[in-house]
Amino acid sequence: MIEYLLVLSVFLIFSVWHSATSKDSFKKIFTSKFKLSLSSYTLVRIPVSLLFLGLTLYLVFLYRKTTPELFTPIKGLIGIVPPLIAMWFSSYVTLQISKADRLPQYFGILDTPKVFFYSGAYSICRHPLYFSWLLAVWGFIISSPYLLYLEFAVLITAFVIYMSKEEEKAMIALFGQRYIEYTKSVPFLLPYGFLNKNYISSEKQ
């Protein structure tokens, strides 16, 4: 039982820190109090987030075999296919952002100008990077089907959905009806936007 509580506790620290520090109100207070630029703030925020997320993963893989096995693990190529697809897809999304010269803004190093992507990977789902994370996390269950890992997968899924919703509130505040129309034609997290008759195939930004 202690392993489940440990994973939950550390993950909650990560999720509270990462979600709170993503809010503009927190950024303004923190950067003003400690006289930090936005890039310096990001260099504090991201490593702390990665520290607690990494610690969560460490605990999961340390204690996973002490918890019940949900089914017989699938080894070999099939077991690593979902994570490999997730890596390819996240690389594709990152490349798209990089080609548009928006990586510093996307990762919070620069604050302006405000833009949003609606073509390429962003035309098949609104949060393609988050989808790739979930694909990797749930894909690992094939080769590591332990109850503790399932707990982690559920926690990270809930966190991703929450963060996606919060980000969309900010996008609607910035872009108004334009972003609302985008949400009507492009799926939330699952990448099936190409099945929609309003699918945006243009690479124009």
Q: Where are the domains of the chain?
A: 2-195
| Topology classification of domain 2-195 | Four Helix Bundle (Hemerythrin (Met), subunit A) (1.20.120)
| pLDDT 10s digits, 81-113 | 988 999 999 999 989 888 877 766 666 666 655
| pLDDT 10s digits, 117-131 | 788 899 999 999 999
What's the pTM value of the predicted model, to 2 decimals?
Answer: 0.86
Report angle CA 37, 40, 41 to the nearest 5 degrees: 85
Cα separation, 147 vs 154, in Å, equals: 11
Cα separation, 40 vs 109, in Å, equals: 8
Q: Classify burial at 110, counting beta carbons within 10 Å of its beta carbon; exposed 0-12, middle 13-18, buried 19 or more.
A: middle
Cα separation, 76 vs 195, in Å, equals: 32
What element of type H or E holds 57? helix 38-63
